[in-house]
Amino acid sequence: MTKTDKRNVLVSGSTSGIGEAIATAFARDGATVVINGRDRERTEAAAERIRSATGHDGLIPVAADLGTAEGTQIMFDAVPHVDVLVNNLGIFGAVPLFEITDEEWRRYFEVNVLSGVRLARHYTPPMVKSGWGRVIFISSESSLMTPSEMVHYGVTKTAQLSVSRGLAQEVAGTGVTVNAILAGPTLTPGVATFIADRVGADVPFEEAERRFMAEERPGSLLRRLIRPEEIASLVHYVGSDAASATTGAALRVDGGLVPTVVP
């Protein structure tokens, strides 16, 4: 057992998928975990699922749209301090490059990049003062291999790497670590819908998953979608005392999709 059970953990966008799995992993340690989503009912339902799965009562559901400055202020007011910040909130979707509007470019940047910037700008300085903290950005293999069907998404994921590395340099030597996680294609509700749209809603999911990985992500060595719990395992480690010498890094949990030995 580490000191995690005495710490506050905020996981943005944690009402399903990777975010919920990450929140569950920290809840199992006994940490106070802030669950976040835009919709109050969904946020409270996610907190109840995690409570049932872990037997842990230290869950704080906060409904706030962290893709906006106004929503972020709601979070600041509700949760003044965190020890571990996991910037998981993100959106994605397939759009032909020449059809991505200025409005969509801005929306993706606001949600995928500025949400984490705002949260880190607020919560990191107190971590520095206390001499301990963890800031984690959930990026993607798309940060290194821009997907042609969603260039705007890939751009935001690459931007996260720059923010993460820059922040790590800013807090060097303080006891606060900052890292990015390069998550590969993961079986979340959003990805299941994405695959159904691309392969065909009438195709059984196991076959749709196989086709998607073979045709659109053929470089994967795992040759299946990653499960959210597999991403959460790495995030949980990076957010722990055990990862004290890991900072300024882009850590891959991509199923071997990126065809290099370094990020």
Q: Residue 75's domain is classified under what CATH number?
A: 3.40.50.720
* Residue 260 counted as domain residue: no
CA dist 239 and 34 (Å) reads 15
Q: Which residue has the tokens 């990015």?
A: 180
On whether both 139 and 153 belong to a single domain, the answer is yes
Q: Residue 166: inside a domain, yes or no? A: yes
Quickly list H helices, 57-173: 69-78, 102-109, 115-130, 151-170
Structure tokens at 153: 């998404």
The reply to whether 116 and 27 lie within a common domain is yes
Give the separation between CA 42 and CA 78, rounded to whole angstroms: 18
Residues 6+ apart with CB under 8 A from 173: none
Total domains, the chain: 2
In a domain, 261, yes or no: no
Going by the DSSP 8-state scheme, the letter that residue 113 receives in this structure is I
Question: Within 10 Å of residue 131's Cβ, how many Cβ atoms?
Answer: 9
Same domain for 34 and 160, yes or no, is yes
pLDDT at residue 3 above 70? no
Identify whether the C-beta of residue 110 lies closer than 8 Å to the C-beta of residue 58. no
Pairing of strands 59-63, 84-87: unpaired
Kindly report, residue by residue over 186-238, the tens digit of the pLDDT. 999 999 999 999 999 999 999 999 999 999 999 999 999 999 999 999 999 99
Question: Distances in Å between the alpha carbon of 73 and those of 66, 69, 114?
Answer: 8, 6, 13
Residue 221 sits in the same domain as residue 240: no
Q: What are phi and psi of 22, to 5 degrees?
A: -65, -45
pLDDT for position 263: 72
Same domain, yes or no: 172 and 206: no
Q: What is the spatial distance between Cα 231 and Cα 186, in angstroms, rounded to a whole number?
A: 8
Separation of first and last alpha carbons in the chain: 31
Task: Please indicate, yes or no, whether residues 156 and 198 belong to a single structural domain of this protein.
Answer: no
Output helix, strand, coil percentages for the chain, rounded to the nearest 5: 50, 15, 35
Q: Are the CB atoms for 64 and 43 separated by under 8 Å?
A: no
Per-residue pLDDT tens digits for 133-185: 999 999 999 999 999 999 999 999 999 999 999 999 999 999 999 999 999 99
Same-domain pairing of 76 and 192: no
3-class DSSP state of 63:
strand
Identify whether residues 192 and 241 lie together within a single domain.
no
Same domain, 23 and 131: yes
Would you place residue 261 in the very low, low, confident or very high pLDDT band (cuts 50, 70, 90)?
A: confident
Q: What is the pTM of this model?
A: 0.95
Mean pLDDT calculated for residue range 16-36: 98
pLDDT at 4: 55
Give the residue numbers annotated as catalytic, written as ranges. 153
Question: How does residue 5 score in pLDDT terms, banded at 50, 70 and 90?
Answer: low
Structure tokens given for 177: 């670590």
243 in the same domain as 221 = no
**Stretch (H or E) spanning 48:** helix 40-54
Which residues in the chain belong to E strands, given as ranges? 8-11, 32-37, 59-63, 84-87, 133-140, 176-183, 249-253
Answer whether residue 1 shows pLDDT above 90.
no
* pLDDT score recorded for residue 192: 94
Task: Please check whether residues 27 and 56 belong to one and the same domain.
Answer: yes
- For the record, the structure tokens of 180 come out as 């990015």
Write out the residue range of the structural domain in which residue 212 sits: 188-225
How confident is the model over 84-137, as pLDDT tens digits? Answer: 999 999 999 999 999 999 999 999 999 999 999 999 999 999 999 999 999 999
In eight-state DSSP terms, residue 148 is: T
